[in-house]
Amino acid sequence: MKRHTAKFMLALSFIAVVLLAARPDPIKEKAKGLKDYYSKFFSIGVAIRPTDPSNHDQRTLILSEFNSITPENAMKMGPIHPQENTYFWRDADSIVAFGVQNKIKVRGHTLCWHAQTPDWLFVDSAGKDVSKKVLLQRLKSHINTVVSRYKGKVYAWDVVNEVIADDSTYFRKTKWSEITGEDFVEKAFEYAHEADPKAILFYNDYNTEIPAKREKIYRMLKNLLAKGVPIHGVGLQAHWSINTPSREELEKSIQLFSSLGLQIQFTELDISVYTGRQGGQMIQGQGQMQAAVFTPEMEQKQLEKYKMIFEVFRKYPKEITGVTFWNLSDKYSWLDGRGRKNFPLLFDTNLKPKKAYWEVVKF
Ligand code: G3I
């Protein structure tokens, strides 16, 4: 009897060992990051602040999940070139050094934009608008200085950002267009190409799944390419929400832009849990009074949206060369700065993967 019991126990332990071995090991599974799940598709990036790598847990998360970084603000004209003869390199340098030391690709963002521009840029010493010639000279000098400094370290640049209007007009009215017309766009690409002929150059914009804006961006890119302007990719920012975009519109954008022979990157991905905004713009009066709670309904809708967009991304591995999240985790996101907390990313406020994360890597 005793012998039977011993045999039975032995058999039980054997079955237990076999069962345990067959079970996916959560520790091993988590040793894989987004970049590993997607290694056959495209790089997976994240926009960071210079302080992110100094925080132990955030640094660990960046290194385990991502193989590309973008400085969220540090390379923009205002922060990096505050006065005509003064550059502020510290923050951008530290992010680039972090990327280089850890063999993570660095995307440069952004060389020419209407926002976060320094005060001196458009005016002379008397405070009057500068001429087109002077503004283009300033643009050339800025681009040449910044791109040359990071030559061989920054593999791709968002050269021009957001010049197409959201309303029914074509070109966004800014100081750039007021002084130079549309010419600054092609000039910016030429200057960047001259400074680093190997860098991959992107035009970057949001609301690219809204048909009217998509058509206008397509038209501009087509014209630039027809003129031989050195442009290699289009950055679709992907500031989305739990309601937008639809699968159909997303696929249409990928197909239309790649038909131009341009590579596609989703450069600023986040999925707002509020529905009252589109792209970079807030729709006034909607969704502003929501409580700062990540409700089960938001969680479910966001998870479905993340699942759907990554299904679409995986359909286009030749066309898409990178997907970058705009911030690391829900602990901090640029979307928080609108009077309410948002929860737009794949990692929660404690840097732990959300349910949506597991949907993104399940394929
Ligand atoms: O650095 C100053 C700091 O010195 C000051 O004390 C503080 C007070 O508000 O402001 C700090 O600057 C802020 C900066 O972020 C750094 O935190 C600016 O006010 C704030 O406007 C700026 O916001 C950035 C925004 O671009 C500017 O338009 C966001 O962080 C950044 O995520 C966002 O990123 C843009 C992309 O570059 C282009 N596409 C849209 C996207 C979202 O708007």
* Share of residues in the chain with pLDDT > 70 (%): 87
Residue 12 belongs to some domain of the structure = no
CA of 172 to the centre of ligand 1 (A): 20
**Confidence at residue 323, expressed as pLDDT on a 0 to 100 scale:** 99
Choosing from 65, 162, 209, 359, the catalytic residue is 162
Our answer on whether the CB atom of 116 is closer than 6 Å to any ligand 1 atom is: yes
CA of 351 to the centre of ligand 1 (A): 22
Task: Say if residue 308's pLDDT is above 70.
Answer: yes
Residue 41 belongs to some domain of the structure = no
Q: Mutate which of 325, 327, 334 to test ligand 1's pocket (most atoms within 8 Å of Cβ)?
A: 334
Our answer on whether the CB atom of 270 is closer than 6 Å to any ligand 1 atom is: no
Residue 190 belongs to some domain of the structure = yes
**Confidence at residue 281, expressed as pLDDT on a 0 to 100 scale:** 41
- Among residues 213, 227, 222, 121, the alpha carbon closest in space to that of 163 is found at 213
Domain count, the chain: 1
Its domain, for residue 64, covers 49-279+288-361
Residue 21 belongs to some domain of the structure = no
Task: Say if residue 277's pLDDT is above 60.
Answer: no
**3-62, pLDDT tens digit by residue?**
666 666 666 655 555 454 544 455 555 689 999 999 999 999 999 999 999 999 999 999
Q: How far is 131 from 123, CA to CA, in rounded Å?
A: 9
Average pLDDT, the chain: 91
Distances (CA, A) of 228 to 221, 223, 273: 11, 9, 41
- The dihedral sign for the CA sequence 28, 33, 39, 41: positive
Question: Which atom of ligand 1 is nearest to 109's Cα?
Answer: 37
User: Any alpha helices (H) in 102-210, and if so which ranges?
Assistant: 132-149, 175-180, 183-195
**141-174, pLDDT tens digit by residue?**
999 999 999 999 999 999 999 999 999 999 999 9
**Confidence at residue 228, expressed as pLDDT on a 0 to 100 scale:** 98
Amino acid at 312: V
**Confidence at residue 286, expressed as pLDDT on a 0 to 100 scale:** 47
- The DSSP call for residue 345 is S
**Confidence at residue 8, expressed as pLDDT on a 0 to 100 scale:** 61
Our answer on whether the CB atom of 330 is closer than 6 Å to any ligand 1 atom is: no
Reduced DSSP (H G I as helix, E B as strand, rest coil) percent helix, strand, coil of the chain, to 5? 40, 20, 40
What confidence category does residue 340 fall into, taking pLDDT thresholds of 50, 70 and 90? Answer: confident
- The DSSP call for residue 219 is H
CA of 122 to the centre of ligand 1 (A): 20
Residue 342 belongs to some domain of the structure = yes
**Alpha carbon 88 to chain centroid distance?**
23
Residue 8 belongs to some domain of the structure = no
Distances (CA, A) of 258 to 30, 264, 321: 34, 7, 11
**Confidence at residue 284, expressed as pLDDT on a 0 to 100 scale:** 41
Tokens of 18: 């076999």
Residue 5 belongs to some domain of the structure = no
**Confidence at residue 337, expressed as pLDDT on a 0 to 100 scale:** 73
Choosing from 65, 72, 190, 268, the catalytic residue is 268
Task: Say if residue 279's pLDDT is above 60.
Answer: no
**Confidence at residue 331, expressed as pLDDT on a 0 to 100 scale:** 96
Q: How far is 101 from 104, CA to CA, in rounded Å?
A: 8
Our answer on whether the CB atom of 115 is closer than 6 Å to any ligand 1 atom is: yes
**Confidence at residue 28, expressed as pLDDT on a 0 to 100 scale:** 56
**112-150, pLDDT tens digit by residue?**
999 999 999 999 999 999 999 999 999 999 999 999 999
Looking up residue 177, the CATH number of its domain turns out to be 3.20.20.80
CA of 53 to the centre of ligand 1 (A): 19
Protein residue with its CA nearest to atom 36 in ligand 1: 72
* Share of residues in the chain with pLDDT > 90 (%): 84
Give the mean model confidence (pLDDT) for residues 268-288: 64
Q: Is 52 helix (H, G, I), strand (E, B) or coil?
A: helix
**Confidence at residue 158, expressed as pLDDT on a 0 to 100 scale:** 98
Give the mean model confidence (pLDDT) for residues 241-266: 98
Our answer on whether the CB atom of 205 is closer than 6 Å to any ligand 1 atom is: no
Residue 6 belongs to some domain of the structure = no
**Confidence at residue 283, expressed as pLDDT on a 0 to 100 scale:** 40
**Catalytic status, residue 194:** no
Amino acid at 76: K
**Alpha carbon 130 to chain centroid distance?**
33
**Confidence at residue 330, expressed as pLDDT on a 0 to 100 scale:** 97
Give backbone dihedrals phi and psi of 159, rounded to 5 degrees, phi first.
-80, -50
Protein residue with its CA nearest to atom 34 in ligand 1: 72
